[in-house]
C-alpha cells in the first residue's frame, strides 16, 4: 500500500510530458548520426509509451475526480499554476498520443531521409505539447500547450510535405491560431468574471456564469474547437494540410489533433457553459449532420487518396460532435469511443497510403489498380482498416457509431431543438451507407481488378518493419471492436459526472450571485 502511495506522489504526468522534450534536447545536442537519431527517438518514444501505460495500470475507474494531480507555482502574478490531472476522458488520449508517436517514429524510418534530426525532434516536441494539452488542468497551461503545438506542426508540414506544402501549412497555422486566440480572450474574461483568483478548470466549472456570458464565451470556444475538429464550414484547412503533410504528420493530425477540438468541447464548453451548450444544440446538430452527409458526398468525389481519407475524417468527426451534444450516457461515451477508434483507423489508413506512396510516389487513385495481386498481405491489412472505416461490426468504429446512434435516438438534449432526435439519428445513419460507398469504391479502384499500370507490377509487399507498425493498430481495432468493456469502464464514471454537469443549469446560481453582487454595490451609492 505504501509503495502504491509513493507511486501516486511521483509526478508521472510531468514525466510523460517532459520525457519527449528532454529526449529532443538530448538528440539536438549529442546525437549526430542519422541511424542513431532514429534509434534514440524510438527508445524515447517507447519509454514515454511505457510511462503512459503505467498511468493505465494505476488508474482508478471508480472516481470522476482528477487523478495523478500535480500543482506547482508557475506565474503568481496572474494566479497561474502548473496544474495537471487526468480523468477517464483524457486518459485514453494521453495513451493514444504516446502510442501514435511510436508508430510515427517507426513509419519514418526509411521514407524520411533528409533532415532526420529535425524530424525526430519535431515529433518529440509535438508529443510533449499534445500530452500537455490532455493533462493540463489550468486554463493558461492548457492554452500554452494548445498553441505551442502549432510550431512543430508548422515545420513538419512545411519541411517534409508535398508540392503545395507552404500554402497548406500557412493555412493550417493561421486558421488554428485565429480560433485559439479568441479562446484566449474568453479565458482571460472568465478569469476576471469569476473573481480573478484562479485559472483552474475546476474553478471555471464551478463558477456560475450568467447566460449572456455563457453565450459569448461559448462562441469564442466554438471558434477554437470547431476549427480544430474541424467542422463545416471551417474545415477547409484540413484536406490541404492532410494531403501535403508527410505520412506521419497526417497520422498525428488525424489521430490526435482533431481530437483536441472535440476534447475541448467535452472539457470546456459542456461543463463550464451548460446553458449555452443547450442553447446551441441545434447549431451543433446541424453542422454535425452537414459534416456527416455533405462531406461524405465530397469524399466520394476525391481522386487523391489522402484527400479522400481527410474528408472521411471530417465526416467521422461529425459523429463525434453529434454524440457530444446529445448529453446522454451512450452518445457521449460513443463519441469518445469514436474518437479513439478514429485515432486508430484514420492513422492506419494514412499509413496505408504512405506505404503505397513510398513505392509509387503518387497519391492519385487512378495511378493504381490491381495492387492486391502483387501485395496480398498489404491488401489484407488495408481491407481490415477499410472495413473499420465503414464501421463493420467487429471493429472499433462500429461500437462508437452504434453507441452514438442509440444515444441519439432516445435523447432529449435541449428544449431549443425542435426536430425529433429519431430523425436526427436516421439522418446520421446514412453515414453508414455513404462511408461504405467512398471507402469501398476507393479500395476497389486501388486494390482490385487487373494491373493496368506497369509500375504496379514491381511493387514489393509489406516488409517486416511496415508490418510491425500495423500490427498494434490491427490488434487494437479488433480488441475494441469485440471487447470494449475495459475502455468503457474507464470512461463511465467520468462521463456520468460530465453529463451531470452539462445538464444542470447554472442560471439560478448566477442569479443569486448577481443579486449578492448588486447589494453591496448599491449600498455604496
Nearer to other proteins, 113 or 463 (CB): 113
Q: Are 370 and 450 in contact (CB under 8 A)?
A: yes
Q: Are 122 and 156 in contact (CB under 8 A)?
A: yes
Q: Which of 74, 215, 279, 467 binds other proteins (CB under 8 A)?
A: 74
Q: Minimum distance between the CB of residue 156 and other proteins, rounded to whole angstroms?
A: 11
Quick check: helix, strand or coil at residue 304?
Answer: strand
Q: Are 288 and 226 in contact (CB under 8 A)?
A: no
Non-local (6+) Cβ contacts of 369 within 8 A are: 445, 446, 448, 449, 450, 451, 452, 453, 456
Q: Minimum distance between the CB of residue 280 and other proteins, rounded to whole angstroms?
A: 20
Query: What cell was used for 14?
Result: 510531468
Site membership for other proteins, residue 75 (CB under 8 A): yes
Q: Which of 17, 86, 133, 140 binds other proteins (CB under 8 A)?
A: 140
Site membership for other proteins, residue 32 (CB under 8 A): no
Site membership for other proteins, residue 25 (CB under 8 A): no
Distance CA 468, CA 462 (A): 10
Q: Which stretch binds other proteins (CB under 8 A): 44-52, 74-82, 371-379, 483-491?
A: 74-82
Q: Which of 106, 119, 95, 171 is nearest to 340 (CA)?
A: 95
Nearer to other proteins, 73 or 464 (CB): 73
Q: Minimum distance between the CB of residue 216 and other proteins, rounded to whole angstroms?
A: 9
Query: Which residues share a beta bridge with 304?
Result: 364
Q: Are 220 and 186 in contact (CB under 8 A)?
A: yes
Nearer to other proteins, 99 or 150 (CB): 150
| Size of site (CB under 8 A) for other proteins | 36
Site membership for other proteins, residue 319 (CB under 8 A): no
Non-local (6+) Cβ contacts of 32 within 8 A are: none
Q: Are 443 and 308 in contact (CB under 8 A)?
A: no
Non-local (6+) Cβ contacts of 87 within 8 A are: 64, 65, 66, 67, 494, 497
For cell 475494441, what's the residue?
Answer: 480
Q: Are 343 and 96 in contact (CB under 8 A)?
A: yes
Which residues ranging from 243 to 282 are in contact with other proteins (CB under 8 A)?
Answer: none
Nearer to other proteins, 13 or 315 (CB): 13
Q: Minimum distance between the CB of residue 193 and other proteins, rounded to whole angstroms?
A: 10
Query: What cell was used for 511?
Result: 442569479
Q: Minimum distance between the CB of residue 150 and other proteins, rounded to whole angstroms?
A: 6
Angle value at C-alpha 405, between 403 and 410, nearest 5 degrees: 100
Site membership for other proteins, residue 22 (CB under 8 A): no
Q: Minimum distance between the CB of residue 80 and other proteins, rounded to whole angstroms?
A: 9
Query: What cell was used for 390?
Result: 465503414
Q: Which of 196, 376, 393, 486 binds other proteins (CB under 8 A)?
A: 196
Site membership for other proteins, residue 212 (CB under 8 A): no
Site membership for other proteins, residue 485 (CB under 8 A): no
Q: Minimum distance between the CB of residue 103 and other proteins, rounded to whole angstroms?
A: 25
Q: Which stretch binds other proteins (CB under 8 A): 68-76, 92-100, 375-383, 502-510?
A: 68-76
Q: Are 411 and 424 in contact (CB under 8 A)?
A: no
Binding mask 86-125 for other proteins (x = CB under 8 A): --------------------------------x-------
Nearer to other proteins, 248 or 384 (CB): 248
Distance CA 44, CA 321 (A): 34
Binding mask 150-189 for other proteins (x = CB under 8 A): xx--xx--xx-----xx--xx--xx--xx--xx-xx--xx
Residues in touch with other proteins (CB under 8 A):
73-78, 118, 140, 143-145, 147-148, 150-151, 154-155, 158-159, 165-166, 169-170, 173-174, 177-178, 181-182, 184-185, 188-189, 191-192, 196
Amino acid at each position: 500500500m505504501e509503495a502504491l502511495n509513493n507511486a501516486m506522489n511521483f509526478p508521472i504526468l510531468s514525466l510523460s510530458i517532459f520525457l519527449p522534450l528532454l529526449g529532443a534536447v538530448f538528440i539536438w545536442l549529442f546525437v549526430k548520426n542519422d541511424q542513431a537519431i532514429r534509434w534514440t527517438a524510438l527508445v524515447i518514444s517507447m519509454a514515454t509509451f511505457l510511462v503512459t501505460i503505467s498511468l493505465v495500470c494505476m488508474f482508478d475507474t471508480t472516481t470522476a475526480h482528477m487523478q495523478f494531480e500535480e500543482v506547482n507555482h508557475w506565474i503568481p502574478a496572474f494566479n497561474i499554476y502548473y496544474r495537471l490531472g487526468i480523468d477517464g476522458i483524457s486518459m485514453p488520449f494521453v495513451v493514444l498520443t504516446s502510442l501514435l508517436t511510436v508508430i510515427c517514429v517507426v513509419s519514418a524510418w526509411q521514407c524520411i531521409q533528409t533532415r532526420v534530426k529535425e524530424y525526430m525532434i519535431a515529433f518529440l516536441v509535438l508529443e510533449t505539447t499534445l500530452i500537455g494539452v490532455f493533462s493540463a488542468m489550468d486554463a493558461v497551461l492548457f492554452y500554452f500547450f494548445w498553441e505551442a503545438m502549432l510550431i512543430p506542426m508548422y515545420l513538419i508540414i512545411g519541411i517534409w510535405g508535398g508540392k503545395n506544402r507552404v500554402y497548406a501549412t500557412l493555412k493550417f497555422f493561421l486558421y488554428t491560431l485565429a480560433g485559439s486566440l479568441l479562446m484566449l480572450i474568453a479565458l482571460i474574461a472568465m478569469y476576471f468574471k469569476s473573481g480573478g483568483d484562479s485559472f483552474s478548470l475546476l474553478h471555471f466549472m464551478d463558477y456560475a456564469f450568467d447566460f449572456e456570458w455563457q453565450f459569448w464565451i461559448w462562441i469564442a470556444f466554438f471558434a477554437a474547437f470547431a476549427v480544430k475538429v474541424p467542422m463545416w464550414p471551417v474545415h477547409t484547412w484540413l484536406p490541404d494540410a492532410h494531403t501535403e503533410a508527410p505520412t506521419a504528420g497526417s497520422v498525428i493530425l488525424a489521430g490526435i489533433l482533431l481530437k483536441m477540438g472535440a476534447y475541448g468541447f467535452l472539457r470546456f464548453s459542456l461543463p463550464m457553459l451548460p446553458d449555452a451548450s443547450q442553447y446551441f444544440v441545434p447549431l451543433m446538430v446541424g453542422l454535425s449532420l452537414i459534416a456527416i452527409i455533405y462531406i461524405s458526398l465530397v469524399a466520394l468525389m476525391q481522386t487523391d487518396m489522402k484527400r479522400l481519407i481527410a474528408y472521411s475524417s471530417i465526416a467521422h468527426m461529425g459523429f463525434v460532435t453529434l454524440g457530444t451534444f446529445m448529453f446522454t450516457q451512450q452518445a457521449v461515451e460513443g463519441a469518445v469511443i469514436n474518437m479513439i477508434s478514429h485515432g486508430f483507423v484514420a492513422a492506419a489508413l494514412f499509413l496505408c497510403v504512405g506505404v503505397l506512396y513510398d513505392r509509387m510516389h503518387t497519391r492519385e487513385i487512378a495511378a493504381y489498380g490491381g495492387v492486391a495481386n502483387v501485395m496480398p498481405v498489404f491488401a489484407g491489412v488495408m481491407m481490415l482498416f477499410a472495413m473499420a472505416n465503414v464501421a463493420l461490426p467487429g471493429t472499433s468504429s462500429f461500437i462508437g457509431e452504434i453507441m452514438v446512434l442509440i444515444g441519439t435516438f432516445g435523447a432529449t438534449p435541449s428544449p431549443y431543438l425542435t426536430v425529433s432526435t429519431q430523425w436526427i439519428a436516421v439522418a446520421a445513419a446514412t453515414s453508414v451507407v455513404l462511408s461504405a460507398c467512398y471507402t469501398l469504391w476507393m479500395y476497389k479502384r486501388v486494390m482490385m481488378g487487373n494491373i493496368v499500370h506497369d509500375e504496379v507490377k514491381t511493387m514489393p509487399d509489406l516488409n517486416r518493419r511496415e508490418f510491425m507498425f500495423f500490427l498494434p493498430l490491427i490488434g487494437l481495432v479488433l480488441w475494441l471492436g469485440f471487447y470494449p468493456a475495459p475502455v468503457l469502464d474507464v470512461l463511465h464514471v467520468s462521463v456520468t459526472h460530465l453529463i451531470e454537469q452539462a445538464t444542470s443549469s447554472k442560471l439560478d446560481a448566477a442569479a443569486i450571485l448577481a443579486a449578492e453582487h448588486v447589494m453591496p454595490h448599491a449600498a455604496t451609492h
